[in-house]
């Protein structure tokens, strides 16, 4: 089988060479097509960090094994890592964090074993990167949580938990505050949970999760989260098992998958041959198992675990009284231990059943949409206006524009109501949300909203607006604090 390989920036080429050397020594039946991605590709003028030929190769082969990559700062370009995940819809980011004997942590010293799998939604949330300056003082980032996207990643998490024979699957969220977005994600979790009655499913608020992870991490098994929260929590979990040098990552999609280390490019040690290749090697095990090369994965992983148990280490971890190995020497030590079995967590040798990673050729973009179960209607609009005036002055102007179809309901500033009630102790910025609802919830159309916009724009600059929708008798928008 052929896979695409991107060596990466900084320490990327060194650790990738070490991992491929280990694979070759174990006669892993793979061929590698090297593709051009990373900072130097940005510097050549490719704004997405990859050449067209690289994109075509990855889409033809279906698997990308990549080293860490740097995104140039201050050039208005998107992260190549995020771009790759989103371009190929690798919607589930699976990160496995396990106690490794020989990598000392406060938990390993206390005899508390850790085996946590974090499944992070990989496409949506604030990582859409849709941002605007509404005024010179106010920036807006749009947070997209979709029902189809949530169902994709959550169903993957449940399937993976069942295959893992997990004892528990937990949805972590902030639905107590973000009732619409995180609320939708949580609703999807329990909707899918009904299809898996054999799994214990529960949920926890994300800040509570973080506290519990650093006190009793052994109580968690599989955790599924939205994108930003998942990014933060997975790095926290890396700290529990020894750091980012032991944090693998698999980006799973229906057609294309990306396997990479979580850590960055470490430019301060690049070219010195002292980087720790373990995280990339662990990611490689996930890739081998994805490709059906289970026996190769087990032999190499057992050799890695045995090597760590013997106290062999690179400079970033381990017993400092013992000399550390460089990247090449560490890879050679693992190779020398092929066929040996660790005392703890030995992997079963399961014969290879190679599959084919080649994706289906798609003729058009896949449209993800669920069936609308209740009729939609527009019952109002939030107008986001720019103004330095006081709330009561704004209210008087807005009421003149309401006409016969709209009522001015409330005015908020940074999410806090300031009219018709509020407090003079609430600090204001020069951007308000002015909410109009239809009289008696009478259904409106977009032309009604446009007419209000045109009228209101005579008094205010309106950088943005959002329709207020209802499905059936359920309002699908949030209230202001104090409303």
Picking from 16, 7, 30, 21, the residue whose alpha carbon sits closest to that of residue 331 is 21
Strand partners, 468: 380
CA-to-CA distance for 381 and 384, rounded, in angstroms?
10
* Cis upstream peptide for 263 (omega within 30°): no
pLDDT value at position 74? 60
Residues forming CATH 3.40.718.10 domain(s) in the chain: 2-336
The radius of gyration computed from the CA coordinates of the chain, to the nearest angstrom, equals: 26
On the 0-12 / 13-18 / 19+ scale of CB atoms within 10 A, 163 is exposed
pLDDT value at position 354? 86
The answer to whether the CB of 154 falls within 8 A of the CB of 192 is: yes
First-to-final CA distance of the chain: 60
Picking from 236, 176, 181, the residue whose alpha carbon sits closest to that of residue 212 is 236
CA-to-CA distance for 408 and 396, rounded, in angstroms?
10
On the 0-12 / 13-18 / 19+ scale of CB atoms within 10 A, 361 is exposed
Residues forming CATH 3.30.70.1570 domain(s) in the chain: 376-475
Helices and strands in the chain: count of H runs, count of E runs: 14, 18
pLDDT value at position 75? 59
pLDDT value at position 252? 96
Structural domain 2-336, CATH architecture:
3-Layer(aba) Sandwich (3.40)
Strand partners, 249: 260
CA-to-CA distance for 13 and 270, rounded, in angstroms?
9
Strands 474-475 and 2-6: unpaired
The answer to whether the CB of 100 falls within 8 A of the CB of 246 is: yes
Helical segments of 36-146, H only? 39-43, 52-61, 80-87, 106-109
Per-residue pLDDT of the chain (483 residues; tens, 9 = 90+): 999 999 999 999 999 999 999 999 999 999 999 999 988 888 888 888 899 999 999 999 999 999 999 877 765 667 888 889 989 999 999 999 999 999 999 999 999 999 999 999 999 999 888 999 999 999 999 999 999 999 999 999 999 999 999 999 999 999 999 999 999 999 999 999 999 999 999 999 999 999 999 999 999 999 999 999 999 999 999 999 999 999 999 999 999 999 999 899 999 999 999 999 999 999 999 999 999 999 999 999 999 999 999 999 999 998 888 999 999 999 999 999 999 999 988 888 989 998 777 677 888 988 999 887 778 899 999 999 999 999 999 999 999 999 999 999 999 999 999 999 999 999 999 999 999 999 988 889 999 999 999 999 999 999 999 999 998 888 899 988 877
- Which CATH number applies to 376-475: 3.30.70.1570, 2.40.37.10, 2.30.30.100, 3.30.70.3170? 3.30.70.1570
pLDDT value at position 142? 94
CA-to-CA distance for 358 and 256, rounded, in angstroms?
8
């Amino acid at each position: 089988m052929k896979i695409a390989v991107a060596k990466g920036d900084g320490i990327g080429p060194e650790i990738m060479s070490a991992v491929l050397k280990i694979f070759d020594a174990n006669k892993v039946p793979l061929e590698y097509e090297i593709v051009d991605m990373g900072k130097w590709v940005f510097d050549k003028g490719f704004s997405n960090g990859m050449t067209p030929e690289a994109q075509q190769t990855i889409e033809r082969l279906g698997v990308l094994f990549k080293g860490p990559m740097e995104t140039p700062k201050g050039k208005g370009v998107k992260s190549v890592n995020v771009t790759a995940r989103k371009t190929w819809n690798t919607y589930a980011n699976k990160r496995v964090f396990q106690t490794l004997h020989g990598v000392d942590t406060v938990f390993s010293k206390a005899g508390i074993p850790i085996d946590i799998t974090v499944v992070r939604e990989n496409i949506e949330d604030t990582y859409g990167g849709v941002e605007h300056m509404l005024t010179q003082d106010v920036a807006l980032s749009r947070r997209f949580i979709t029902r189809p996207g949530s169902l994709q990643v959550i169903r993957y998490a449940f399937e993976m938990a069942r295959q893992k024979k997990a004892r528990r699957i937990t949805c972590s969220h902030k639905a107590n505050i973000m009732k619409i977005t995180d609320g939708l994600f949580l609703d999807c979790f329990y909707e899918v949970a009904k299809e898996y009655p054999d799994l214990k499913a529960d949920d926890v608020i994300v800040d509570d999760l973080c506290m519990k992870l650093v006190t009793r991490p052994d109580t968690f098994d599989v955790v599924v989260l939205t994108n930003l929260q998942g990014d933060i929590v997975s790095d926290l979990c890396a700290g529990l098992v020894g750091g980012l040098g032991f944090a693998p990552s698999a980006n799973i999609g229906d057609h294309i998958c990306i396997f990479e280390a979580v850590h960055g490019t470490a430019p301060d040690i690049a070219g010195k041959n002292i980087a720790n290749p373990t995280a990339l090697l662990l990611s490689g095990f996930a890739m081998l198992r994805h490709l059906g090369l289970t026996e190769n994965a087990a032999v190499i992983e057992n050799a890695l675990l045995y090597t760590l148990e013997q106290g062999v280490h690179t400079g970033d971890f381990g017993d400092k009284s013992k000399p550390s190995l460089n990247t090449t020497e560490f890879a050679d030590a693992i190779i020398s231990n092929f066929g040996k079995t660790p005392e703890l967590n030995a992997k079963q040798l399961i014969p290879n059943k190679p599959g084919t990673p080649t994706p289906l050729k798609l003729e058009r973009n896949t449209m993800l949409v669920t069936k609308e179960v209740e009729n939609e209607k527009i019952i109002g609009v939030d107008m986001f206006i720019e103004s330095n005036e006081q709330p009561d002055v704004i209210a008087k102007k807005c009421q003149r524009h309401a006409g016969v179809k709209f009522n001015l309901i409330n005015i908020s500033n940074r999410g806090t109501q300031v009219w018709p009630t509020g407090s003079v102790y609430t600090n204001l910025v020069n951007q308000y949300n002015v909410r109009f609802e239809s009289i008696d919830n009478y259904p409106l159309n977009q032309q009604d909203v446009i007419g209000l916009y045109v009228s209101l724009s005579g008094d205010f600059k309106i950088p943005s607006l959002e329709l207020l929708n209802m499905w059936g008798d359920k309002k699908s928008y949030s209230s202001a604090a104090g409303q």
